[in-house]
Amino acid sequence: MMYRMIVPTKAERDAIKRQYGTLFASISHALFEADPVGINFDENTDEYDAETGTIIPRLGSAKSAEDVQAIVYEEFCRWFDPISAGPREKYAAVSTKIWELWCAFHRP
């Protein structure tokens, strides 16, 4: 499978950050804590902002945590590569957290 790299500009990522505010920060933090590709060095807390910026726009199509897992895994394969991303299964827990955050964000 070929993964096409989609890299939002800084302006686009900043717009997503503004639009989603705390959701953006919460998802980035969840990814940082889960650290699926081993780039958490404690100081670089914004390390997963780029991935968050490509995950959030796709969450509107998700109907379950499993859908989120597919999205998150695909984005990590795009940002890194399938070898570095590792098995899809290791994204289950963080994807459940992201799904919960997404649902809470849209709760009236």
Cβ–Cβ < 8 Å for 80, 50: no
Radius of gyration of the chain (CA): 13
Cα–Cα–Cα angle for 21, 25, 29, rounded to 5 degrees: 170
Q: What value does the mean pLDDT take over residues 66-77?
A: 96
Query: Given this model, what pLDDT does residue 37 score?
Result: 82
72: left (phi over 0), alpha (psi -120 to 50) or beta: alpha
Full-prediction pTM beyond 0.95? Answer: no
pLDDT of 82 > 90? The answer is: yes
Query: Given this model, what pLDDT does residue 3 score?
Result: 45
Query: Given this model, what pLDDT does residue 6 score?
Result: 58
The domain segmentation of the chain, as residue ranges, is 10-37+46-106
Query: Given this model, what pLDDT does residue 108 score?
Result: 67
pLDDT per position as a tens digit, 4-63: 545 667 788 889 999 999 999 999 999 999 988 877 777 766 778 889 999 999 999 999
pLDDT of 2 > 60? The answer is: no
The two three-digit tokens of residue 95, written as one number: 């994807």
